[in-house]
């Protein structure tokens, strides 16, 4: 076989950190600072993942699910969708249990960390203390002589947001992220729900290949034909490339967060796969209730 044609793809970034350290605020700030006025949907759209444009050019994909039950489920099932973890530590609170959990998660997944020391607008902010606390967990930031990229930010005052995006782009360049867009799509379901008007809606991160309207897809025990693809900005797309988050409409049932999505050749094949998986699920459930 000829080797696959690999092309650069945007990094996929997850923001992690302790409760109330500002993960959601930072994601919202990054997105609103980046919204081009007049863009369909603007910041009112709330899908679990979105893309912004880096000041250094190119896109960055953020996943907005840490701490979520769905993300925990994805982690438990070994889904590895993240290229880079941004570790948010509040400068007034310092390293806390979920900070340590995030460090361990990134390490186990062999994903590089970027430290964002948040809330530096606060009068009681102690960024130096955060740096030395991180050392105890073997996270050595650049200003402490280490190699971990770091930036002091304020999600509230919108301080250093471009700097954070630049660091992500720099880290991504080192990772040399590539995917083949010219093949049947594969991806991961980030979240999924049953929408009263639209039926099952799955937010999917495309990892390889290009997903097209009309494709026959399977995800976990569910199948369907892609009826519509909707971007994070709320616009209808004909297709979605690697590292793009997209809402997929057209599933017959609602898949689960963490399910792998794949495009198959025809409906008969899709039914074969999903019938088998539905059976497996039933057998597992029966085995559980028998013990």
Residue with smaller CB distance to ligand GTP, 121 or 162: 121
Using rule CB under 6 A, residue 22 touches ligand GTP = yes
Site membership for ligand GTP, residue 180 (CB under 6 A): no
Residue 23 interacts with ligand GTP (CB under 6 A): yes or no? yes
User: Nearest CA to 27 among 55, 52, 54, 56?
Assistant: 52
Which helix (H) or strand (E) element contains residue 105? Answer: helix 97-108
Q: Which stretch binds ligand GTP (CB under 6 A): 119-127, 207-215, 258-266, 276-284?
A: 119-127
Contact assessment for residue 247 and residue 234, using Cβ atoms and an 8 Å cutoff? no
Strand partners, 237: 229
Residue 24 interacting with Mg ion (CB under 5 A): yes
Rounded CA-CA distance 281/278 in Å is 5
Question: In the chain, how many H helices and how many E strands?
Answer: 6, 17
Residue 160: closest CA among 120, 112, 102: 120
Residue list, annotated binding site? 17-24, 64-68, 118-121
Query: According to the binding rule CB under 5 A, does residue 5 interact with Na ion?
Result: no
Backbone angles phi, psi at 224, to 5 degrees: 175, 175
Residue 164 and residue 30 in contact, taking contact as beta carbons nearer than 8 Å: yes
* Comparison of 16 and 219: residue with beta carbon closer to Mg ion: 16
The smaller minimum CB distance to Mg ion, of residues 15 and 168, is found at 15
- 154 contacts ligand GTP (rule: CB under 6 A): yes
Determine if 20 is a binding residue for Na ion (CB under 5 A).
Answer: yes
> By beta-carbon distance, which residue lies closest to Na ion?
20
The nearest distance, CB 67 to ligand GTP, in angstroms, is 5
Q: Least CB distance from residue 174 to ligand GTP, whole Å? A: 27
Instruction: Read off the tokens for 128.
Output: 């130096």
Long-range contacts of the stretch 69-72 (C-beta < 8 A, 24+): 70/190, 70/191, 70/257, 70/258, 71/14, 71/257
The distance of closest approach from Cβ of residue 172 to ligand GTP in the complex, given in angstroms and rounded to an integer, is 23
Residue 146 interacts with ligand GTP (CB under 6 A)? no
Name residue, tokens 């997850």. Answer: 14
State which H helix or E strand residue 165 sits in.
helix 161-175
Q: How far is the CB of 63 from Mg ion (least distance, A)?
A: 13
Contact with ligand GTP (CB under 6 A): which of 75, 126, 129, 156?
Answer: 156
Q: Which residues bind Mg ion (CB under 5 A)?
A: 23-24
Residues that bind Na ion (CB under 5 A): 20
Kindly list the residues in this chain that would bind ligand GTP in the complex (CB under 6 A). 17, 19-25, 67, 118-119, 121-122, 154-156
């Amino acid at each position: 076989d000829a080797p696959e044609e690999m092309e650069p793809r945007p990094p996929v970034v997850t923001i992690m950190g302790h409760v109330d350290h500002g993960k959601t605020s930072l994601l919202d700030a990054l997105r609103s600072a980046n919204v081009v006025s007049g863009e369909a949907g603007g910041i009112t759209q709330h899908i679990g993942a979105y893309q912004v444009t880096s000041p250094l050019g190119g896109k960055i994909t953020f996943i907005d699910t840490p701490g979520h039950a769905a993300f925990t489920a994805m982690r438990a099932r070994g889904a590895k969708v993240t290229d880079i973890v941004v570790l948010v530590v509040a400068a007034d609170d310092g390293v806390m249990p979920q900070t340590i959990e995030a460090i361990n998660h990134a390490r186990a997944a062999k994903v590089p960390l970027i430290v964002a020391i948040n809330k530096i607008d606060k009068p009681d902010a102690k960024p130096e203390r955060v740096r030395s606390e991180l050392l105890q967990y073997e996270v050595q930031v650049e200003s402490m002589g280490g190699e971990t990229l770091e930036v002091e930010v304020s999600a509230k005052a919108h301080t250093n947001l471009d700097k954070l995006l630049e660091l992500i782009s720099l880290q991504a360049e080192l990772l040399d992220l590539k995917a083949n867009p010219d093949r049947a799509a594969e991806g991961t379901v980030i979240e999924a729900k049953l929408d009263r008007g639209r039926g099952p809606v799955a937010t999917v991160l495309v990892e390889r290949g290009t997903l097209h309207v009309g494709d026959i897809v399977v995800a976990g025990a569910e199948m369907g034909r892609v009826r519509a693809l909707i971007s994070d900005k709320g616009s209808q797309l004909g297709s979605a490339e690697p590292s793009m988050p997209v809402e997929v409409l057209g599933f017959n049932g609602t898949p689960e967060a963490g399910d792998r999505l794949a495009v198959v050749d025809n409906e008969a094949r899709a039914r074969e796969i999903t019938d088998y998986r539905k059976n497996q699920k039933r057998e597992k459930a029966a085995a559980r209730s028998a013990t």
